[in-house]
Amino acid sequence: MQETKTQEEEEAEIKKAALIGSSNGGGNDEEDEAAAARAKKILIRRPGMVRGRMSWLDRRNGRSWRHAVQTVFVLLNVYLCVQFYLWVRYYETGGASLKVTRPPGVEGWLPIAGLMNLKYTLMTLNIPPIHVAAMFLLVAFLLVSLLFKKSFCSWLCPVGSLSEALWRLGQKVLGRNVTLPRWLDIPLRALKYVLLAFFVWIVAISSADTIESFMTSSYGLIVDVKMLDFFRHISNIVLITLIVLVIGSVFIKNLWCRYLCPYGALVGLISLLSPFKIRRDAEACIDCTKCAKACPSQLPVDKKLQMRSAECTACLSCVAVCPAKDALQFSLPPDKKTAANGDDSGISRRWRKRALSGAVLTLLLVVVVGGIIGAAKITGHWQTPVPEAVYRDLIPNARELAHP
Ligand code: SF4
Ligand code: SF4
């Protein structure tokens, strides 16, 4: 256990890991020399650890903040789904059950409607009235990805949180997760881009008129109810697929997110433009490989100076485990100031005001998502303005409605 190790024991372990990580078992003279040189690098220990735990305000503590944000978003989605279900039941029972208002936030589960509305807005410069919250939520999540890598997946998305809970369960019960070989991993990762291309193609070939007539059709008006029905009256094939995905996620880290989620593919592509990235300072780094081992996306964090990959979800797991002060950060590009290994203050200066802590990242995510939702509400573009009589007519017959 980390807590019971003395500092000397931990240091020896880190140096041993550095030697193993660097030499890679190759055994030739050049590699051995390089490994020895790396092991000689001075480890400037990161401060602030108390019995292996980091304070919530520690700059590297993304984990506690991320888990708190994930919990809030999972609970928020449960609340939205329950309220939406009660709202639908009110109309299905002819007004005999509890009356609640329709929660527009549930449209976060309608990304295709969001994408269609976004295209409509860009083409007509008019904000569409139907399922407009889907568009604002999509814009908020795209903006989050543009600024802070694919943080939507590891901080906000409830499916991402469920995936993480499942692989952590597998790791706890089985002792490890399964890593697919590269020849299988790479083509499988392409699947989510194929699915994304399909949805983008559907939106791309739809004109503004087509989008408007779909959204205002009977089916389009209650496409959210149709989505609920998809899960309430689930077909055997979909149920079996879901069970396979859930069981598979216990063994394979982020099975759905890594290989199949088109939303993840979209925000991943946008995240390539993010100015914030995981960045490694080669002078402070002691090549212990702990960051790469901790990365749930299996990225070579210990080899790169910055992590450009569309698979990096800004989960900050790598930052949390790094034992060297200022070696790894989620940051803007460093200051040009140089510092020799061992020059503690010089390396710190290089990253000052450029690295985001878990607390600040949490605040910024709240500001971006909350700001866009707030702006939509203030300008009257949040609720879908469909008269109650229309819902009273359509919802009880939703199952009979076919896609136009
Ligand atoms: S490199 Fe890996 S561990 Fe680090 S933030 Fe990205 S996904 Fe997380
Ligand atoms: S960045 Fe940190 S965790 Fe990664 S290899 Fe360097 S010292 Fe180790």
User: Where in the sequence is the domain holding 11, given as residue range(s)?
Assistant: 2-40
Judge whether 294 lies within some domain: no
Could you give the percent of the chain with pLDDT greater than 90?
75
- pLDDT-derived band at 45 (thresholds 50, 70, 90) equals low
Q: Do 16 and 79 fall into the same domain? A: no
The reply to whether 211 and 127 lie within a common domain is yes
Q: Is there a single domain that holds both residue 117 and residue 237?
A: yes
Same domain for 126 and 173?
yes
Q: Quick one: 104 and 20 in the same domain?
A: no
Same domain, 24 and 89: no
Average of per-residue pLDDT values in the chain: 88
Claim to verify: residue 107 and residue 6 sit in the same structural domain: no
Model confidence, pTM: 0.86
**Whether 80 and 36 share a structural domain:** no
Stronger pLDDT, 26 or 374, i.e. the higher one = 374
Atom of ligand 2 nearest to the CA of 290: 3
Give the tokens for residue 381: 């573009």
Q: Please report whether residue 7 resides in a domain.
A: yes
- Under the banding of pLDDT at 50, 70 and 90, the label for residue 30 is low
The angle that helices 132-148 and 262-271 make with each other, rounded to 10 degrees, is 50
- Whether residues 32 and 99 share a domain: the answer is no
145 lines ligand 2 (CB under 6 A): no
Identify whether 48 is part of a domain.
Answer: no
Residues 22, 92 share a domain: no
Judge whether residue 140 has pLDDT over 50: yes
Confidence of residue 3 (pLDDT cuts 50, 70, 90): very low
Residue 203 carries which side chain, given as an amino acid letter?
V
Ligand 2 centroid to residue 286 C-alpha, Å: 6
Q: How many domains does the chain contain in total?
A: 2
**Shortest CA distance to 329 belongs to which of 354, 347, 309, 308?**
354
- Does 145 lie in the same domain as 184? yes
Position 284 pLDDT exceeds 60: yes
pLDDT in tens, 163-198: 999 999 999 999 999 999 999 999 999 999 999 999
3-state SS, 286-341, equals CCCCHHHHHCCCCCCCCCCCECCCCCCCCCCHHHHHCCECCCEEEECCCCCCCCCC
Please report the atom of ligand 1 found closest to the CA of residue 314: 5
- pLDDT for 50 beyond 80: no
pLDDT, one tens digit per residue, over 372-398 is 999 999 999 999 999 999 999 999 988
CA of 203 to the centre of ligand 2 (A): 43
Q: How far is the CA of 292 from the centre of ligand 1 (A)?
A: 8
Per-residue pLDDT for 269 more than 50? Answer: yes
Residue 394 lies in a domain: yes
Q: Are residues 20 and 90 in the same domain?
A: no
Q: Which residue has the higher pLDDT, 35 or 91?
A: 91
Q: Are 330 and 62 in contact (CB under 8 A)?
A: yes
CA angle 365, 368, 371 (to 5 degrees): 130
Q: How confident is the model at residue 41 (pLDDT cuts 50, 70, 90)?
A: low
